[in-house]
Amino acid sequence: MTAAALTAAALASRQARRTPFRATRQDRRAAFDSAIAGPAAGISEYSSLDEEISELFEQIGSLQEAAMLPAVGGDLDEVNALVSRLPFDLQAVRQRGFVHEAQLEEQISSLTARWEKLADKVSDALYRQQTDLVEAANELVDSVNRLHRPGVGRAAVDSAWARTRALQSRVEAAHGSLTEMYDDLGDELEKVEDRIEQVEWMLDQVEAAKFDLLEGEAPLRAVQARWVRQGEDQGPLGILYLTDQRLLYEQKEELTTKKILFVSVKKETVHEFLFDAPVSAVEKIGVGEERSGFLGMGKVEVLELGFDHTAQVSGAEFHLKKGTAEEWQAAIGRVKSGQMDRARTAEAAEEAEALDEARKELPSNCPNCSAPLDQTIVRGMTSTTCKYCGTVIQI
């Protein structure tokens, strides 16, 4: 399949996608729990036996539906779709410039192989459980139908409740044993899907950004964040980016420019690149939390960065809108240590190596005034300027 066809297939998949597997799986489990739950038997809760029998019929109707184990069937359908879709989704973000985390291909391949071995076993077990449970539910319905005959007493109704609770327990046990067969694999698929969706969002932001990436520079992470600057009540809201070379920040928010009686009547969108700094210039990383929101009931993740003299700013504090500051601390650390570069795809690794070789040829002193060139040179830069005499040195 061509690159264009792969990208088109992944785009169609992305547009058709409603919600992540994590959310739909949780919804199915919640619906199952609701269907399986029912009131306990007890004559004191009902005004008559007829009312109690009606409630019993309603409970058994829910049990008949639950006996088909629809949450498990839905999970299996979605896992099949997810296993088929993830390679296309990953290939699409590769085509858009995501060149890191080369282990994702192998991870998806491994998960696919595991599912191919497991899928038939789960499907067969599901069919057996459905057959047994539906048969039991139908038998229960037949027996409860006989409760409408004249002369039915308390003992017969209590017996029907006991059989209903027993079937309820069987359905719950079947659901649990089946989901246990594939839940670990489902959790791993969720993580891969979540990561690819994070990358898709990051690439959307990069493609609309007010800055250009350098040659060979590749994006790693992005998050909506507020830059809290000293002396300001509320700093700009925008996007914080991490690439394999730089940290970048741009303001991207809608601001109110006119109010009438505390109601916003005029707004404008501000989208402006504010600063960048080489990752190598990061000297200190602080992480923490601050209280926020009404009465301090919420919390916000805080990422504090300290830079050396080569950066435009000496430090910056960001309040992250999603994820954790620890995740950013770890990612920056992997870039600084070179670990992130070692996780590039093969083609991207060759490109990075060639650009790094070009950097080695840069003189240590200005060819015009002999002053030391102590600026940080990041991969992909095509020139640097001597800060003493202004000479431009090509890389």
Q: What is the pLDDT of residue 365?
A: 75
Rounded average pLDDT over 45-50: 73
Strand partners, 303: 287, 318
| Cα distance between residue 168 and residue 59, in whole Å | 10
**Helix axis angle, 21-36 relative to 49-66, nearest 10°?**
150
Query: What's the whole-number average pLDDT of the chain?
Result: 84
Rounded average pLDDT over 35-63: 73
Residue 308 lies in domain: 219-343
Residue 286 lies in a domain: yes
Residue 4 has pLDDT above 60, yes or no: no
Q: What is the pLDDT of residue 232?
A: 75
Q: What are phi and psi of 360, to 5 degrees?
A: -65, -20
- Residue 293's Cβ-side half-sphere holds a number of Cα atoms within 13 Å equal to 8
Residue 193's nearest CA partner among 93, 313, 59, 343 is: 93
In total, how many domains does the chain have?
3
Q: What is the pLDDT of residue 290?
A: 80
Strand partners, 316: 305
Residue 208 lies in a domain: no
Lowest-confidence segment of 38-52, 175-189, 290-304 by average pLDDT: 38-52
Which has more confidence, 274 or 378? 274
Rounded average pLDDT over 312-326: 93
Query: What pTM did the predictor assign?
Result: 0.79
Looking at the fold, whether 91 and 189 belong to one and the same domain comes out as: yes
Q: What is the pLDDT of residue 361?
A: 63
Summarize pLDDT for 242-265 with one digit per residue, the tens.
999 999 999 999 887 666 666 666
Looking at the fold, whether 261 and 318 belong to one and the same domain comes out as: yes
Write 344-350 long-range contacts (CB < 8 A, 24+): 344/99, 344/100, 344/102, 344/218, 345/94, 345/99, 345/100, 345/102, 346/102, 347/99, 348/99, 348/100, 348/218
Residue 313 lies in a domain: yes
| Cα distance between residue 299 and residue 284, in whole Å | 23
CA dihedral (100, 105, 106, 107) positive or negative = positive
| pLDDT band for position 346 (cuts 50, 70, 90) | confident
Summarize pLDDT for 140-173 with one digit per residue, the tens.
988 888 887 777 788 888 888 899 999 999 999 9
3-class state of residue 71 by DSSP: helix
| pLDDT band for position 328 (cuts 50, 70, 90) | very high
Residue 119 lies in a domain: yes
Q: Are 348 and 218 in contact (CB under 8 A)?
A: yes
Looking at the fold, whether 259 and 279 belong to one and the same domain comes out as: yes
Residue 34 has pLDDT above 70, yes or no: yes
Looking at the fold, whether 278 and 379 belong to one and the same domain comes out as: no
Looking at the fold, whether 103 and 141 belong to one and the same domain comes out as: yes
Looking at the fold, whether 160 and 229 belong to one and the same domain comes out as: no
Highest mean pLDDT among 114-128, 292-306, 310-324: 114-128
Q: Identify the CATH number of the domain in which residue 310 sits.
A: 2.30.29.30
Looking at the fold, whether 8 and 36 belong to one and the same domain comes out as: yes
Residue 391 has pLDDT above 80, yes or no: no
| Cα distance between residue 215 and residue 382, in whole Å | 9
Rounded average pLDDT over 208-227: 94
Residue 43 lies in a domain: yes
Residue 213 lies in a domain: no
Residue 337 lies in a domain: yes
Looking at the fold, whether 132 and 277 belong to one and the same domain comes out as: no
Q: What is the pLDDT of residue 1?
A: 43
Looking at the fold, whether 334 and 370 belong to one and the same domain comes out as: no
Q: Which residues contact 274 (CB under 8 A, 6 or more apart)?
A: 227, 236, 238, 249, 250, 251
Looking at the fold, whether 335 and 367 belong to one and the same domain comes out as: no
Looking at the fold, whether 380 and 320 belong to one and the same domain comes out as: no
Containing 164, the helix (H) or strand (E) segment is: helix 154-207
Lowest-confidence segment of 31-40, 68-77, 94-103, 308-317 by average pLDDT: 31-40
Residue finishing a domain among 203, 232, 265: 203
Lowest-confidence segment of 143-147, 172-176, 235-239 by average pLDDT: 143-147
Residue 349 lies in a domain: no
Determine the length of the chain: 395
Looking at the fold, whether 228 and 362 belong to one and the same domain comes out as: no
